Amino acid sequence: MAPHFGLIDPDKLSRKEATLIRSKLHWRCGRRRIREGKTASGVATLYDALLSGMRWYIMDNLMKGPQAFSEEELENERFVFSQLRKAGKIGPHFDLNKIQDLVDMALMEEDIQADQDQFVEQLERFLTGIHILPFEESELPPEDPATF
């Protein structure tokens, strides 16, 4: 079950608000899963936190005035990445291909131990840079133990 399942009410939140909360919920859960040794699901969950954070940043900062993006564009990882690069939020040190490769390796149950800490640090730096991290745990609903 996804970390946000049942914790985000789409009828009470805007898409932008729900996307921000999703990023935070996935960050919290991904970190827990990695601590518990559930590396593949933890890395995949952190990657979702990253993508949700990127989408939130675009909705919050880049979709002002006449600028608008379609739902399809916001779901396209490469498009989202390119918009953040154009906005100066992603520098040359941020290697999306390497991040995606690591996620793929984790999901294929390959050993990623040597790169795991760097992966988490890079995501944490980025999410801090766009003001998603740090956050107060009290901002979020309690974690559901049923989320794997």
CATH of the domain at 95: 1.20.120
Q: What is the rounded average pLDDT of the residues 8-21?
A: 85
User: Does the residue 105 lie in any domain?
Assistant: yes
Which pLDDT score is estimated for 1? Answer: 46
User: Does the residue 6 lie in any domain?
Assistant: no
User: Does the residue 144 lie in any domain?
Assistant: no
What's the predicted TM-score (pTM) here?
Answer: 0.90
Report whether 2 contacts 33 (CB < 8 A). Answer: no
Domain count, the chain: 1
User: Does the residue 9 lie in any domain?
Assistant: no
Q: What is the rounded average pLDDT of the residues 118-145?
A: 91
Which pLDDT score is estimated for 134? Answer: 97
Which pLDDT score is estimated for 145? Answer: 65
Q: Which residues contact 68 (CB under 8 A, 6 or more apart)?
A: none
The amino acid at 129: G
Model confidence band, residue 67 (pLDDT cutoffs 50, 70, 90): confident
Residue 95, domain extent: 15-139
User: Does the residue 2 lie in any domain?
Assistant: no
User: Does the residue 63 lie in any domain?
Assistant: yes
User: Does the residue 146 lie in any domain?
Assistant: no
Report whether 81 contacts 96 (CB < 8 A). Answer: yes
Q: What is the rounded average pLDDT of the residues 111-132?
A: 94
CA distance 81 to 51: 9
CA distance 36 to 40: 11
